């Protein structure tokens, strides 16, 4: 089976290829710098062509293929439009097994504290526990709240820095891919994995602080 949703010769819908990846579904190379506006336009263009209503009078097989192609297209678009999901997906395509952590959909997994954050995380955990005890006693500590708000700003800043650094790695990946530089590709993949692990942990800290402040 080909990777295109329609036959070049007859224009009819085709069954999705079992080994097609989401980048190929949109005719894209395995690069992470994507024109999101162009991706959206391609998604809606293909969605209109593949919509089941278009095949209401077609054969049962074509109707089924239309549904399967639409489902694939939706999954591909949902993954590629999200910067983190897109990065994780490419790494999986490249055979990288991601470290345990917490996924973007919030599914709980085990996380490790980044070495350079050990002291900050220890102090934060103490503050969070103190806030819980204060709340349990029906009291409030303005200074503790102020400290947690500062921690929230600091971790949000680190999260933004991680996103910026990740985009730099996307560019390095694209260059290595163009140059067929296997060593640089491998190095960049390792850096992306490490950065995603760090970002995942920081995002969880931001969530914990938000929960403490909003409780």
Q: Going from the N-terminus, what domains does the chain have, and what CATH number goes with each?
A: 22-81 (1.10.287.110), 115-214 (1.20.58)
- Of the chain, the percentage scoring pLDDT greater than 70 comes to 92
- pLDDT at position 173, please? 98
Q: In sequence order, what are the residues at sequence separation of 6 or more whose Cβ sits closer than 8 angstroms to the Cβ of residue 121?
A: 113, 205
Query: What size, in residues, is the chain?
Result: 215
Asked if residues 63 and 52 have their Cβ atoms less than 8 Å apart, the reply is yes
Q: CA angle, 214 as apex, 212 and 120 as ends, to 5°?
A: 30
pLDDT tens profile 159-191: 999 999 999 999 999 999 999 999 999 999 999
pLDDT tens profile 201-212: 999 999 999 999
pLDDT tens profile 17-36: 888 899 999 999 999 999 99
d(CA 157, CA 202): 10
- pLDDT at position 114, please? 84
d(CA 91, CA 190): 9
Mean pLDDT of 77-90: 97
Is the per-residue pLDDT at 99 higher than 70? no
pLDDT tens profile 100-136: 544 444 444 446 788 888 999 999 999 999 998 988 8
Mean pLDDT of 30-46: 96
């Amino acid at each position: 089976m080909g990777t295109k949703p329609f036959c070049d010769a007859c224009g009819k819908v085709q069954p999705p290829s079992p080994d097609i990846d989401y980048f190929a579904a949109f005719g894209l190379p395995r690069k992470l710098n994507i024109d999101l506006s162009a991706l959206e336009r391609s998604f809606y263009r293909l969605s209109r062509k593949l919509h089941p209503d278009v095949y209401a009078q077609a054969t049962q097989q074509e109707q089924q293929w239309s549904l399967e192609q639409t489902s694939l297209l939706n999954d591909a678009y949902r993954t590629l439009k999200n910067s983190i999901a897109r990065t994780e997906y490419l790494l999986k395509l490249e055979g990288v097994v991601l470290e345990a952590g917490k996924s973007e959909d919030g599914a709980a997994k085990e996380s490790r504290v980044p070495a350079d954050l050990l002291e900050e995380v220890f102090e934060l955990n103490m503050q969070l526990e103190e806030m819980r005890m204060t709340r349990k006693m029906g009291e409030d500590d303005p200074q503790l709240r102020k400290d947690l708000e500062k921690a929230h700003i600091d971790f949000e800043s680190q999260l933004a820095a991680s996103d910026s650094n990740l985009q730099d790695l996307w560019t390095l990946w694209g260059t290595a891919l163009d140059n067929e530089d296997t060593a640089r590709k491998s190095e960049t993949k390792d850096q992306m994995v490490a950065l995603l692990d760090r970002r995942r942990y920081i995002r969880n800290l931001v969530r914990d602080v938000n929960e403490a402040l909003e409780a």
